[in-house]
């Protein structure tokens, strides 16, 4: 059942061109990271201002990557926020549930497909940046791959929150408010240095690993907390869905 329903989710992504659009967008950003890093001094020079900008290096491409990935995550969540509310409002889930598809399978299938696509898209962007940047920019950097794991996991947390919001409110607004509300609250709490290093949002600052301003152990606790939160949120989402009238 899990496989059948997951294949249906993938077919839906293919038929409505969402899969193509997402992969193209992430690939485009992957190419743009080193190109913008390389061209930024020249672009600024055309403005006529006399700014003393150092020669762009490899790190500038990765700074671009970490800036863009947060934006891409927001767009990704927006693209999927209607998935469950639409199925609930147009009653297409009823035929599935009434023929024996467990509600937990619906949540787990959607979570798996959306998360796997996130990982594939994210690493497509990462891979293109990683391959293309050394061709345009000089320098060598540590921990590039390890650092990339943390924003990817944070993305999965946002996806789980989106599903929770969608099931709880049965509305697109809810499926946006819950993840972005969490992101906002977590960012607000990050003002406190003592709290910041434990919060999931800390995972989005893993650029520090590449710039050698942090070590991998600095991210262990927020990573574990985030993984636990993901499991908890999915379990809560399934529990709520099991008790809902549809």
Partner 1 sequence: MNILRVTNVSKSFSNNQVINNLSFTVKAGNIYGFLGQNGAGKTTVMKMILGLYSIDSGEIYVNDTQVSFGQNKTNQFIGYLADVPAFYDYMNAREYLKLCGDISKVNNVNSRITEMLELVGLDDNKTKIRGYSRGMRQRLGIAQALLHKPLLLICDEPTSSLDPIGRIQILDILKNAASETTIIFSTHVLSDVERICDHVGILHEGKIALDTDINTLQSKYNNHNIQLTFSSATDLEKFIANTTFEYMTEDLQLLITNANLKDVYNQIATTQLYPTNLELVKPNLESIFLEVTNV
Sole window of 101-109, 159-167, 213-221, 224-232 interacting with partner 1 (rule: CB under 8 A) = 101-109
110 binds partner 1 (CB under 8 A): no
The DSSP code for 138 is: B
In contact, 234 and 111? CB cutoff 8 Å: yes
Task: Name the region of 41 (left: φ>0; alpha: ψ -120 to 50; beta: rest).
Answer: alpha
Neighbours of 207 (CB within 10 A): 19
Longest distance between any two alpha carbons in the chain, whole Å = 69
Tell me the site size for partner 1, rule CB under 8 A: 27
Can residue 12 be called a binding residue for partner 1 (CB under 8 A)?
yes
102 binds partner 1 (CB under 8 A): yes
Shortest distance, CB of residue 98 to partner 1, whole angstroms? 4
* Phi and psi, residue 142, nearest 5°: -90, 165
Tokens of 167: 């099931």
- Residue 5 binds to partner 1 (criterion: CB under 8 A): yes
11 near partner 1, judged by CB under 8 A: yes
| Residue 92 touching partner 1 (CB under 8 A) | yes
Per CB under 8 A, does 103 bind partner 1? yes
Choose between 182 and 241: whose C-beta lies nearer to partner 1: 241
In sequence order, what are the residues at sequence separation of 6 or more whose Cβ sits closer than 8 angstroms to the Cβ of residue 140?
58
Positions touching partner 1 (CB under 8 A) are 1, 3-5, 8, 11-12, 15-16, 90-92, 94-103, 242-246
């Amino acid at each position: 059942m899990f496989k059948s329903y997951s294949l249906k989710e993938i077919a839906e992504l293919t038929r409505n061109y969402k899969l193509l659009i997402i992969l193209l967008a992430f690939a485009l950003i992957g190419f743009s990271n080193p190109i913008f890093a390389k061209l930024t001094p020249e672009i600024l020079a055309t403005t006529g201002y006399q700014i003393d900008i150092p020669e762009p290096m490899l790190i500038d491409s990765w700074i671009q990557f970490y800036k863009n990935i947060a934006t891409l995550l927001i767009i990704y969540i927006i693209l999927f926020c209607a998935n469950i509310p639409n199925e609930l409002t147009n009653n297409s889930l009823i035929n599935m549930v009434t023929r024996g598809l467990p509600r937990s399978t619906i949540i787990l299938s959607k979570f798996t497909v959306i998360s796997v696509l996130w990982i594939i898209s994210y690493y497509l962007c990462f891979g293109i940046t990683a391959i293309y940047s050394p061709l345009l920019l000089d320098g060598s950097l540590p921990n590039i791959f390890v650092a990339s794991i943390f924003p990817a996991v944070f993305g999965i947390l946002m996806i789980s929150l989106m599903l929770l919001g969608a099931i709880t409110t049965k509305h697109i607004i809810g499926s946006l408010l819950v993840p972005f509300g969490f992101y906002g609250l977590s960012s607000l709490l990050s003002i406190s240095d003592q709290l910041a290093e434990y919060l999931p949002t800390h995972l989005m600052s893993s650029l520090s690993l590449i710039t050698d301003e942090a070590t991998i152990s600095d991210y262990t606790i927020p990573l574990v907390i985030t993984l636990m939160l993901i499991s908890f949120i999915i379990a809560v989402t399934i529990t709520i869905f099991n008790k809902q009238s549809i």
